[in-house]
Amino acid sequence: MTEELEITNNEQSSVKERLLKFIEFKRINPRQFEELAGLSTSYISNMRKSIKPSTFDSKIAPVFPELNKLWLLHGEGNMINSSQNEKENDLHSDQGLHLIRNKPHDEQMEMLYNKIDKLESTIEILKERDQLYFKAIIAHLGITSNDENEVEKSKKSSTS
């Protein structure tokens, strides 16, 4: 298990702090988390004490099944569900391929579709993050929109 996955309870931390740790672990920002989970914008910044278990079950868990409910709501256990760690590791290992092949066809398809969905979601999040980084760099360098168009043209011509 990696060090990041072994983040355990901290009785002093709040639900909001633990949620922000999870968001950082996922390498997304709070706005992206809110969007993916179908929560209102500023949901996290407006959090007072906790998250209703029903909100976790209906909105957060379906999108982030790896997030340990007990850890988030009560600070108990690990941040990531151990069964989710095992599933993720299984799909990435040589044995994981063997495990998929030994499952009934329907289970194989479901596992692969789930993996594809996660990868597509990750790609979209990374694209958004890259666009934000690009805009921040452009702003930091003081490049105008005309200059930005030139940068885009040069990127396209260098990949052709």
- DSSP labels, the chain: --GGGG----TTS-HHHHHHHHHHHTT--HHHHHHHHTPPTTTTTT--S---HHHIIIIIHHH-TTB-HHHHHH--S-SB-HHHHHHHHHHHSHHHHHHHHTS-HHHHHHHHHHHHHHHHHHHHHHHHHHHHHHHHHHHHHT--HHHHHHHHHHHHHHH-
Q: What is the pLDDT of residue 117?
A: 86
Per-residue pLDDT, 159: 62
Q: What is the pLDDT of residues 65-109, one digit of tens each?
A: 999 989 999 898 899 987 644 455 445 545 556 667 777 888 888
The pLDDT of residue 18: 92
Confidence of residue 114 (pLDDT cuts 50, 70, 90): confident
